[in-house]
Amino acid sequence: MTATTVLPARVRRGYGLGSVATGTFGTVPGLLLLPYLTDTLGVAAALAGVIVFAPKAWDVVLNPVAGRISDTSTHPAGRRRPFLLRGGLVLAACFALLFAGPTSTVAGAIWVVVLFTGCATAYAFFQVPYVAMPAELTLDYDERTRLMTWRVAVLALAILLSGATAPMVVDAVGHDSPAGYRLMGVYVAAILVIGVLGAWWGTRGAPEHWVDTPGGGIAGQVRLVAEAADFRPLLVTFVLQALGIGTMLAGVAYAADDVLDAASAATILFAAFVGPALVVTPLWERYARARTKRSGYVLSTVVMVAGMLVIGAFLPAVPAVAYAGAALVGVGYAGAQVFPMAMLPDVAARDAERTGQNRIGVFTGVWTAGETLGLALGPALFALVLALGGYASSSAGEDVAQSDGARLAIRLGFTIVPAALTAVSLLALRGYRLDEEVRGVR
């Protein structure tokens, strides 16, 4: 198809709708699956962390394969689009069943492992082609940022909708109730379907700038991608931040229930976290146009770390200030999504220009594998902190008082640990130089 500098608004909106699915699936399991295992099924915290992590670890292996498969697609409806529909609908079906299993500890844990693995597999074949699309939709450096602005705005809205309302659905039936979790699973599955169909339909007829797909096996392609100079520092930065965010997400329900002692606090924390992101996302795009994506990524990361430290300092003594810290995290998080998501297609497209070969799906597969690993390790890391603090698991209907050590572990895992991981990520970003190269030739 012919090259297009500015994409039609319909395509930007349609592509952005895919973030309803990625934001929802990236949020709800990290928010509710661990407490479902520890506080409804009675699974020990350390084992629950392993259960949440293992299916996601499978995606680390699968995502580059999914990227390579989508790279070689020649479907008349588009190289990537058909994967959105197939993978997305299977994901929704598996998620509806995830919380619908037996409630005994052993059988329930096995059910979660099997269904969550199904979710992770389907998600790989939705997410990887979806994230790969911007590098082929447009060749323009700034247009990719505009495309990501739409995506991150929808992502923030999806996180707010799913993260705030999914716990409300559970609590409406009964706190830690198996029936509440089952209803929530169906509710979230419906949200996933909306995002999947929106992205699939909204990107119909969109331009695609295809490059020949190289031969060779997946291992060789992954090795070549890993050797890309600008890709390595960007990937390490993003993965460490995904680990920090995953750890923080896993702690929301525990901070609300055991530190603030108010189930409604989870909804307030999410609203404070995501609400500002809806406002500031376009401002981060303007920053990128005036300066560089890399400098914006650094600034937004610093803002995010500052917010985490504010929460850690004032939770639970001054909840209002802690909520303000959550809003500051949200401001930074918006930029920490816009910039790397716009930088990834820059890296992949520059590689295609340099080599004349299409490895965009492999780049995206490795990228999403790293993100998945970080988000999966987050709950596992938080569960480890809980275990070290002596957190007491319980079955549905039991009310267990937590020790001072357990409550301290929740506070540290929810704030200080994510802040440290996010701050360290900036050391890796120093190696990214593509912004200067692109600005120099424009």
Question: Are the C-beta atoms of residues 102 and 111 closer than 8 Å to each other?
Answer: yes
Rounded CA gap, 284 and 300, in Å?
A: 9
Question: Are the C-beta atoms of residues 329 and 273 closer than 8 Å to each other?
Answer: yes
pLDDT by residue (tens digit) across 79-133? 788 899 999 999 999 999 999 999 999 999 999 999 999 999 999 999 988 988 8
Residue in the block written with tokens 């295609």: 352
pLDDT value, residue 224 = 67
> For residues 236 and 205, which has the higher predicted lDDT (pLDDT)?
236
How does the average pLDDT of the chain come out, rounded? 85
Which residue type is seen at 361? Answer: G
Would you kindly state where each structural domain of the chain is located, as residue ranges? 10-201+217-441
pLDDT value, residue 438 = 63
Asked whether the predicted pLDDT for residue 218 surpasses 60, the reply is no
3-state secondary structure 344-398: HHHHHHHHHHHHCCCCHHHHHHHHHHHHHHHHHHHHHHHHHHHHHCCCCCCECCC
Question: Are the C-beta atoms of residues 156 and 334 closer than 8 Å to each other?
Answer: yes
2-16, 293-307, 336-350 — most confident range: 293-307
pLDDT value, residue 5 = 61
What DSSP string describes 286-352? HHHHHS-HHHHHHHHHHHHHHHHHHHHHHTTT-HHHHHHHHHHHHHHHHHHHHHHHHHHHHHHHHHH
Asked whether the predicted pLDDT for residue 285 surpasses 60, the reply is yes
Q: Indicate the helix (H) or strand (E) that contains 67.
A: helix 45-71
pLDDT value, residue 91 = 97
pLDDT confidence bin for 3, thresholds 50/70/90: very low
pLDDT value, residue 273 = 80
Residue 3 neighbours by CB distance under 10 Å: 9
Per-residue pLDDT averaged across 338-360, rounded? 81
Asked whether the predicted pLDDT for residue 441 surpasses 50, the reply is no
Asked whether the predicted pLDDT for residue 213 surpasses 60, the reply is no
Asked whether the predicted pLDDT for residue 183 surpasses 50, the reply is yes
pLDDT value, residue 397 = 57
> For residues 337 and 308, which has the higher predicted lDDT (pLDDT)?
308
**72-86, 139-153, 200-214, 313-327: segment of lowest average pLDDT:** 200-214
Asked whether the predicted pLDDT for residue 282 surpasses 90, the reply is no
CATH number of 10-201+217-441: 1.20.1250.20
For the whole model, what pTM was predicted? 0.74
Distances, alpha carbon 169 to alpha carbons 2, 161, 164, 165, in Å: 47, 12, 9, 6
Residue in the block written with tokens 């007829």: 205
